[in-house]
Amino acid sequence: MSTKKNIGIFSNIIALGLFLFTLLLVFTPNLSFLNKFAHYTTYIMLGMVGLGLLFLPFKNRKLMFSSFTCAAILCLFLKGASNSNIVFPEINNLPSLSVAHINLGNVTDTYENLITTVQSLDTDIISFQEFTPDWNFIIGKKLDSLFQYSEKNVRIDPFGMAVFSKQPIENKEIFNHEEIPNFKGDIKLGEEVVSLVFSYVLPLFGSQDIANTEEHLSVVATKLNRCENHKISVGDFNMVYHAKEIMNFRAKTLLQNSRREVPVGTLKMPYDHIFYSSELECTQFIEIEDSNKTHIGVLGSYQIRQTLRNVENESSLSSLNF
């Protein structure tokens, strides 16, 4: 009897620990070591499922159901932070825009293969991070021949960036957070205008970095909220999409997440993201890899939401009838 009682107490302690750990992943405090755990929430969720299956042969129902419940909580949390669509919307007959982003610091390929990769994307706009003088010399002229319009901020540090577009970029602006530049520009999408903001956020290493990141994202959010057009936020955020800082940023800007899932074949989680305003629809989102299967960027395709255009047409008809 004493042995069963000890096992019951031990099971309660483990179950409580699992729930507390799960809650810390969902409501992560500003502690750097917990942020590191939070970056691997997807794998921890899968681990909880495996833990539940491990307890199954031992007929420990309490720990089995606790593990499965924690896995379900994490699954709902991750899904709530990602794109809510089970499948991407069908492409309508309204104007569309494709946006790609590549961090040149991640490229392990030759520049000829990189150009081939860029050509195969057939994107309307592409941004590059870590656009150094060397990269500008190697691929700058070739990209200028592929894209008619460009804006370059060439630097020797990781903060250099360049944006290439097949359409004119209007109202161009570079705004800084401390020494880190962010680029904003407007693109015509049929009769509509899309404001795009390209950013690079420093990685998190300590509590001070968390505060600096929150301040940087707040600067970007303020810039986006001042835009009266449709909005797309692109860049290397150096955080997983479900990080607390990203969730707060999206809450401030009311932007949607393009990514519906993450590749689980590697322990390296993607830190590059594309967020968009609710008047748009994301019809495609892919991870960009070089010929060595190394993740180097992302691409998303966007269109005006059909319901928005219907509302505008009805409003125009009402005004004419009046």
151: domain CATH number? 3.60.10.10
**Whole-number pLDDT of residue 320:** 43
The H or E element that residue 173 is part of is strand 170-177
Number of domains in the chain: 2
**Identity of residue 151:** E
Same domain, 152 and 287: yes
Choosing from 56, 81, 106, the residue where a domain stops is 81
Please indicate, yes or no, if residue 87 is contained in any of the structural domains. no
The domain of 113 spans: 96-309
Evaluate whether residue 212 is within a structural domain. Answer: yes
Q: Which two tokens stand for residue 203?
A: 């990685």
Can you give the pLDDT at residue 309?
A: 55
- Does residue 89 lie within any of the structural domains? no
320 lies in a domain? no
pLDDT at 40: 83
- Claim to verify: residue 61 and residue 113 sit in the same structural domain: no
Please tell me whether residues 102 and 220 are part of one structural domain. Answer: yes
Sign of CA dihedral 120, 125, 131, 133: positive
Three-class SS of 60-101: CHHHHHHHHHHHHHHHHHHHHHCCCCCCCCCCCCCCEEEEEE
44, 135: one domain:
no
Number of Cβ within a 10 Å radius of residue 22: 23
The two structure tokens encoding residue 169: 């970029």
Helix (H, G, I), strand (E, B) or coil at 134: helix
pLDDT at 301: 96
Q: Quick check: is 88 in a domain?
A: no
pLDDT at residue 317 in the model: 39
Residues 6+ apart with CB under 8 A from 188: 167, 168, 170, 194
Query: Does residue 110 share a domain with residue 223?
Result: yes
**Statement to judge: residues 55 and 146 lie in one domain:** no
* Judgement on whether residues 50 and 124 belong to the same structural domain of the protein: no
Residues 220 and 110 occupy one common structural domain: yes
Rounded to whole angstroms, what are the CA distances from 89 to 79, 84, 191, 256, 273? Answer: 17, 11, 21, 14, 19
Strand order in the sheet with 280-289: 149-153, 161-165, 125-129, 96-103, 295-304, 280-289
Q: Residues 166, 232: one domain?
A: yes
Domain boundary pick from 81, 104, 128? 81
Give the helix/strand (H/E) hosting 207: helix 207-225
Whether residue 90 is contained in a domain is answered as no
In a domain, 322, yes or no: no
Q: Quick check: is 317 in a domain?
A: no
Q: What is the mean pLDDT of each run of 10 residues along the chain (322 residues)?
A: 66 89 84 72 90 85 91 91 80 90 92 91 95 91 91 91 94 91 93 94 74 92 94 94 92 93 71 94 93 92 77 46 46
